[in-house]
Amino acid sequence: MFEVPPNCVLAFFKVTCPTCKFGMPFLNRATHRVIGVSQDDEAATAKFAEQFGVKIEMVFDRVEDGYPLSNRFGVEYVPTLFVIDEAGRVSKRIEGFDKEGFEDLGVVFVEDVPVHKPG
């Protein structure tokens, strides 16, 4: 089982998620260690990483294993991000991808995140 390190951000995603595709380049610019938690297989994730220039670490949370990491953290949809503190505890949970969420994380550069409003 994957042991979550302290002082990191876990970013749960799927390669078919449009919001995940949009957000991954911003995670590459994080100032903290970011670990992508892919809910897809290695081949699909490698293709996704190449296509979108993803350079963060990756671990796999597979459907055939019952998504153990997603279940452990209560992930209901993607993207979901968790800030893990120095004691290994979740200090923040961000669901979705928006500027306010990343500002709340306080660990990534957000000045270039577009703000999307309906209409």
Give the chain's domains with CATH numbers.
8-105 (3.40.30.10)
Q: What is the pLDDT along the chain (119 residues), one digit of tens a residue?
A: 789 999 999 999 999 999 888 888 888 877 778 999 999 999 999 999 999 888 999 999 988 889 999 999 999 999 999 989 899 999 889 888 766 766 666 644 444 445 555 54
pTM, entire model? 0.84
Q: How far apart are CA 94 and CA 23, in angstroms?
A: 12
Contacts 24+ apart (CB under 8 A), 25-30: 25/52, 25/53, 25/54, 26/102, 26/108, 26/109, 26/110, 26/112, 26/113, 27/54, 27/56, 27/108, 28/53, 28/54, 28/55, 28/56, 29/108, 29/109, 30/56, 30/107, 30/108, 30/109
